[in-house]
Amino acid sequence: MEAPLPRTGGVYSPPAGTKGVPNTTIQSVPYNALVDDLTADANAARPITAGGTGATSASAARTALGAQTAHAALTSISGLTTAADRMIYTTAADAYATTALTPFARTLLDDANAAAALTTLGVSAFMQTLLNDADAAAARATLGANDASNLTAGTVPDARISGAYSGITTLSVSGKIATSGNEIEISGANPRLKFTDTTSGAYDFWAYVDSQNFHVLVDRTGNGAWDTPHPLQLEGDTNIGYLFGSQILTAGNYDALGVTPEARTITAGNGLTGGGDLAANRTLTLGTPGSITNSTTNSVTSTSHTHALGFTAAEVYTGTGANDTSFPLGHIILCYTNNIARNASVTPSLRSNLNYQYLYSGHTDAGSVLSGTWRARGTNGDGWTLLQRVA
């Protein structure tokens, strides 16, 4: 094989002596050498500078040209027909198709972040705040659904109002209140239950508790306040009950005077007169008592009675306090009065700077005033007077 044709910078130039000259015989040796060179060049790889690939195989040609092997994805893309407002997308591995891409969609695709995309979509700032909430509790707070006071309309299902509730100040219903329990409790100071009759001219009633007493109350005037006396009063601490009415009947239509059989009698005992059956009002009279002397005893006769002479703790002072100010009737003290008249009224007091003397209340050293009314019962001439409590 002949050597490749000489090239300068990859460009072929014919060697000297190979071109014909008019009226000159062509020399066979250089001419044949040129033909051989052309034959060899035609069968050799054409350099890139001469428009070839510089290689004799496809892989070598791609390497020389810096190209890559044809790919199925590129083949798929090359077979697509595109148009305005369309984009390509994959339908399988190395398989592509086109779909519509509207101008609005392109404005969404060019947004830098989610907030910009939400603005493009027309989502309000409030809704964006809701979407940014970390959990349901935060979302309820944003919506105001975490506060029952925000419920201003609609109906709450029964399932949502079960369980225990407290703090309700006023509960208004238009129907009845039904409970499957065995107790309704009303607690508080003086609890009450009011029954308001909406019938024209009808009275209103209360069931009312006041301390140990239970009352049934009535408003006959329609002024919103109950009347006195009350129709019914039961005293729990004394076990006494009262019914107030002009006529009170039993189930057998006995009025109040007939509840106890009229044949029942009240007998006057010793020292009493009167009595009789209950068909009418009866009076028991206490006989005139006998005089009390040092020798009388506690006794009673058919017409009179007497008492033994004695004293009780309330009649005789037995205290020991130097600052006591309350003494029983008849008690005697020695008090400085500046010579007040016999039986005159005096207001005694403790002496503030001494614990063993009493002074009249106008004295400069007078302290706490004694209870009751006191009168002078005599003085020694130096202003010290016996005082007796008389009231």
For CA atoms 182, 188, 190, 196, the dihedral sign is negative
65 inside domain: yes
Same domain, 64 and 3: yes
Measure the CA–CA gap between 216 and 262, rounded to whole angstroms.
30
pLDDT tens for residues 176-208?
888 888 888 888 888 888 888 888 888 888 888
Would the pLDDT of 252 be above 70?
A: no
DSSP, collapsed to helix, strand or coil, labels residue 137 as helix
375 part of a folded domain: yes
pLDDT in tens, 80-125: 888 888 888 899 988 889 888 888 888 888 888 888 888 888 888 8
In a domain, 151, yes or no: no
91 & 111 share domain: no
Q: How many domains are there within the chain?
A: 5
Q: Is residue 17 part of a domain?
A: yes
pLDDT at 343 over 60: yes
| In a shared domain, residues 89 and 77 | yes
Give the CB-side neighbour count of residue 39, counting CA atoms within 13 A. 8
Give the residues across from 72 on adjacent strands: none
Global confidence as pTM = 0.30
Task: Verify that 65 and 76 share a domain, yes or no.
Answer: no
Residue 336: inside a domain = yes
Q: Kindly state the helix (H) or strand (E) to which residue 260 belongs, with its residue range.
A: none
In a domain, residue 5? The reply is yes
Residue 309 lies in a domain: no
Give the model confidence (pLDDT) of 21-66 as tens digits: 787 777 777 777 777 777 777 777 777 777 677 677 777 777 777 7
Query: Bridge-partner residues for 359, per DSSP?
Result: 336, 349
Question: Of 6-20, 169-183, 236-250, which gets the smallest average pLDDT?
Answer: 6-20
Residue 185 located in a structural domain: no
Q: Do residues 4 and 47 both lie within one domain?
A: yes
- Name every residue whose Cβ is closer than 8 Å to that of residue 208 and which is 6 or more positions away in sequence: 190, 191, 192, 193, 214, 215, 216, 217, 226
Domain range for residue 238? 192-245
Asked if residue 376 and residue 337 are part of one domain, the reply reads yes
